[in-house]
Amino acid sequence: MSETGAATLRLDKWLWHARFFKSRGLAADLAKSGGIRVDGTSVSKPSRAISVGALLTFPKDDEVRIIKVLGLGARRGPAPEAQALYEDLTPARDPYIDPLEHRVGGRPTKKDRRDMDILKGSR
């Protein structure tokens, strides 16, 4: 408890309780690197105290997650208990966009070069 009486919990511990990371150390590493924002402010210490109502923004699994803290939790419990600790405000991904579509291919194969030659009319 802090001086104001509001319940708080360490940032790395809460991320571990809510099952965003498999270990508290992984959550602490992300916080140390400055990859987490609490209420829009970049955090560089895993010991940063958070309370109910805080808005967390951090990268996870090739997307930026936006999470609102609904509860602090006393332990790292099962998944349904962990999901009750937060509200996910991350915008939904468009299922029709293929993430590999915009990837630039490597060097063309021999068949690709032959096809390009035919299109250019050099054969």
Domain coordinates of the chain in residue numbers? Answer: 9-92
| DSSP three-state, residue 113 | helix
pLDDT digits (tens, 9 = 90+) for 5-51: 579 999 999 999 999 999 999 999 999 999 999 999 999 999 999 99
Which tops the pLDDT comparison, 83 or 107? 83
Across residues 83-101, what is the average pLDDT? 84
As a whole number, mean pLDDT of residues 52-68 equals: 94
Say yes or no to pLDDT of 1 above 50. no
On the question of pLDDT at 73 being above 80, the answer is yes
19, with CB counted inside 10 A (0-12, 13-18, 19+), is middle
Q: What is the mean pLDDT of residues 68-76?
A: 94
Is residue 31 exposed (0-12), middle (13-18) or buried (19+ Cβ within 10 Å)? Answer: buried
- At 54 the three-state DSSP class reads coil
Mean pLDDT of the chain: 89
Amino acid 76 reads: R
pTM for this prediction: 0.73
Q: Is 68 within 8 Å of 52 (Cβ atoms)? A: no
- Closest to 55 measured CA to CA, from 21, 24, 20, 11: 11
Is residue 16 within a helix (H) or strand (E), and if so which, with residue range?
A: helix 11-17
CATH 1.50.10.10 describes domain 9-92: no
pLDDT band for position 2 (cuts 50, 70, 90): very low
Interatomic CA distance for residues 3 and 75, integer angstroms: 23
